[in-house]
Chains A and B, each alone.
Chain A
């Protein structure tokens, strides 16, 4: 009788332990933040572009009594629309055990008319995008001092605004290289000091055709919050779209 009772008690303790362990695993998994990396389909970007331009058309449409001549968009700025980019790469952070987002094979850059020029929005993921503007200045195409980066990890997003002390010339109309220009910026809450340099002319192939471009390089070396950020981008003097 006693032996049977002991066996029942051990079974009960074992079953209870298993249930408690299962519940603990369930609670931890439920409470652990989920992280996602969702691509932005070209059709989504196009739909958003059309909605934005439809709104702008209504808002900006001149009255029928206006005698002002139509204004052509600046020739050197990229035509508005959605551009497709063949993409590779990833981002990662080491928080909460670490996670990474692999970028999709195709991403979109949406160009819309904005103020002195155009606004560009590169949708890498739903959780990752860049926004900046380009304006036509006296000496060529300039990068105005306001831009933004969006990052989202574990379901929590953050839009960091970059504010700088003036516009920087990216694509000179004379097509000549320029010495490095230091830019004083704040990114989020931190000081950020990129250096921009207009490099040599080059030829790249798009759709099988050679296209003349100007290389532009941005470099950041900072031992503090943004410890080392070398980067580069290319641009065409005919369209000012980032190329490679």
Chain B
């Protein structure tokens, strides 16, 4: 899964902020740990 995200919030906990997130995540193993 991957994403690139940019958002602006004027009601956030610390006021008017610009948030940016970018990531990529690849599954390592099909077998889960239990």
Q: Which residues of A contact B (CB under 8 A)?
A: 42, 46, 49-50, 53, 78-96, 103, 106-107, 111, 122, 124, 151, 153-154, 156, 158, 188-190, 206-207, 211, 225-234, 239, 241-244
Contacts and interface: CB of A to CB of B under 8 A. Distances in A.
A193 to B, nearest CB: 13
A54 B17 CA distance: 41
Given A90-B22, A244-B25, A239 B4 contact: no
Nearest to A235: B1
A92 B20 contact: yes
29 contacts: A49-B33, A53-B34, A82-B34, A83-B27, A83-B28, A83-B33, A84-B27, A84-B29, A85-B25, A86-B28, A87-B23, A91-B19, A93-B18, A94-B17, A94-B18, A95-B12, A96-B14, A153-B14, A189-B11, A206-B27, A206-B30, A207-B29, A225-B7, A225-B8, A231-B2, A232-B1, A239-B30, A244-B26, A244-B27
A89 B22 contact: yes
B11 A229 contact: no
Given A94-B17, A229-B6, A231-B5, A244 B24 contact: yes
B19 A92 contact: yes
A80 B34 contact: yes
B23 A233 contact: no
A9 to B, nearest CB: 45
Contact of A86 (B17, B18, B22, B25): B25
SS class of chain B's interface: helix, strand, loop or mixed? strand
Contacts of B29: 83-84, 206-207
Contacts, number: 138
Contacts of A88: 23-24
Contacts of A244: 1-2, 24-27
B4 A81 contact: no
Given A87-B25, A94-B17, A103-B23, A229 B5 contact: yes
A231 B7 CA distance: 13
Nearest to B32: A81
The residue in B5, B10, B30 that gathers the most chain A C-beta atoms within 10 A of its C-beta is B30
Contacts of B13: 153, 156, 158
